[in-house]
Amino acid sequence: MKRIPPKKELLRLQSQFRTDKKIGEALGGVPARLVAYWRKKKKVTEVSLPKFSQRQIRNLWEEWGSDKLAAAQLGTTPAAFYKWRRRYGLSERPRVLKSSQLSLALFDESKPAHLPAQLTLAEKIISSRLQDKTFLPGQTYQVEPDLIVLSSDWGKLLAECKQVSLSRIRKGDRVWAVVPAVWPEPELGQETRAFLKSNKVKNVLCREQGGVLQVLWEKNLISTLTLVIGTERGILGTGFLGAWGRQVDCAGLAQLFETGKLTLSVPPTLQIVLKGELSEYLFASDVYYFLRKRIKAEQIRDRVLQISGPALSRLSLAQRQALSLLWTQAPVAGLLLSVDQTVRKHSLARHKKSVPLTDGDPKADYIERLEFDLSHLEPLLSCSAPVDRISAVSENKRKPVRQIVLGAASAGRLEEFQIAARILNRKKIHPEVQLLVVPSSRKMFLSALKKGYIKTLLEAGGIICDPGLEGLGQKLSLTDPVLTTCGLNSNHNTFFNQQEIMVGNAATAAASALKGKITDPRDYL
Domain assignment present for residue 339? The answer is yes
Q: Would the pLDDT of 112 be above 50?
A: no
Q: Kindly state whether residue 109 falls inside one of the protein's structural domains.
A: no
Distance, CA of 231 to CA of 145 (rounded, Å): 13
Please, which pLDDT band fits residue 44 given cuts at 50, 70 and 90?
confident
* 301 or 138, higher pLDDT: 301
pLDDT band at 448, cuts 50/70/90? very high
Residues 345 and 217 both lie in one domain? yes
Instruction: Identify which of 249, 214, 212, 215 has the alpha carbon closest to the alpha carbon of residue 229.
Output: 249
Measured in whole angstroms, the distance separating CA 370 from the mean position of its chain's CA atoms is 22
Question: Are residues 503 and 411 in contact, defined by beta-carbon separation less than 8 angstroms?
Answer: no
Q: Name the more confident of 380 and 14.
A: 380
- Do both 356 and 402 map to the same domain? no
Q: 230 and 348 share a domain?
A: yes
Q: Are residues 340 and 399 in the same domain?
A: no
User: Cβ distance 237 to 216 under 8 Å?
Assistant: no
Residue 488: predicted pLDDT = 52
Q: Which domain holds residue 208?
A: 141-373
pLDDT digits (tens, 9 = 90+) for 227-284: 999 999 999 999 999 999 999 999 999 989 988 899 999 999 999 999 998 888 899 9
pLDDT digits (tens, 9 = 90+) for 506-522: 999 999 999 999 999 99
- Of 373, 408, 432, the residue that ends a domain is 373
Give a yes or no: residue 181 inside a domain: yes
DSSP H/E element including 67: helix 67-74
The confidence band for 473, taking pLDDT boundaries of 50, 70 and 90, is low
Q: Which has the higher per-residue pLDDT, 36 or 366?
A: 366
pLDDT tens-digit readout, 137-189: 788 999 999 999 998 889 999 999 988 888 889 888 899 999 876 656 678 88
265-300 CB burial, b ≥16 within 10 A, e <16: ebbbbbbbbbeeebeebbbbbbbbbbbbeebeeeeb
Mean pLDDT over residues 303-328, rounded?
A: 94
Q: How confident is the model at residue 490 (pLDDT cuts 50, 70, 90)?
A: very low
Q: Strands 227-230 and 147-150: what pairing?
A: parallel
Q: Is residue 173 part of a domain?
A: yes
CA atoms within 13 A on the CB side of 296: 3
Q: 158 in a domain, yes or no?
A: yes
What is the number of domains present in the chain?
3
Averaged pLDDT, 29-43: 82
CA distance 230 to 122: 17
C-alpha dist (Å) from residue 60 to 52, 66, 81: 11, 9, 10
Q: In the prediction, which pLDDT does 404 show?
A: 93
| 194, 333: one domain | yes
Shared domain for 482 and 467, answered yes or no, is yes
Residues 472 and 360 in one domain: no
For residues 406 and 521, is the Cβ–Cβ distance under 8 A?
A: no
Q: Is 6 helix (H, G, I), strand (E, B) or coil?
A: coil
Q: Which of 351, 373, 395 is the last residue of a domain?
A: 373
In-domain check, residue 500: yes
Q: Which residues contact 33 (CB under 8 A, 6 or more apart)?
A: 20
Residues 430 and 293 reside in one and the same domain: no
Give the Å distances, CA to CA, from 328 to 118, 218, 437.
27, 20, 23
Residues 255 and 306 grouped into a single domain: yes
Cα 404 to Cα 485: distance, rounded to the nearest angstrom: 8
Q: What is the three-state SS of 489-522? A: HHHCHHHCCCCCEEECCHHHHHHHHHHCECCCHH
> Which of 354, 373, 392 is a domain's end point?
373
Please enumerate in sequence order all residues whose Cβ is within 8 A of that of 189, keeping only pairs 6 or more positions apart, or say none: 179, 180, 181, 182
Query: Which residue, among 368, 404, 437, has the nearest Cα to 521 in the 3D structure?
Result: 404
**Residue 171 resides in a domain:** yes
Q: Is residue 311 domain-shared with residue 406, that is, in the same domain?
A: no
Q: Is the per-residue pLDDT at 387 higher than 90?
A: no
Do 353 and 445 belong to one domain? no
Window from 61-75, 268-282, 441-455, 465-479 with minimum mean pLDDT: 465-479
Mean pLDDT value of segment 406-433 = 90
| Domain shared by 335 and 411, yes or no | no
Q: How confident is the model over 196-203, as a mean pLDDT?
A: 91
Q: Is the peptide bond before 268 cis (omega within 30 degrees of 0)?
A: no
Domain containing residue 364: CATH number? 3.30.499.10
Q: Please tell me the pTM assigned to this model.
A: 0.76
Hey, which bits of 411-504 come out as E strands? Answer: 434-438, 463-464, 482-484, 501-503
Phi, psi of 306 (to 5 degrees): -115, 110
Are 419 and 318 contacting, i.e. CB atoms less than 8 angstroms apart?
Answer: no
Q: In angstroms, what is the C-alpha Rg of the chain?
A: 26
Among 105-119, 184-198, 443-457, which is the least confidently predicted range? Answer: 105-119
User: What's the mean pLDDT in 208-226?
Assistant: 90
Between residues 497 and 324, the one the model is more confident about:
324
Q: Does 159 reside within a domain?
A: yes
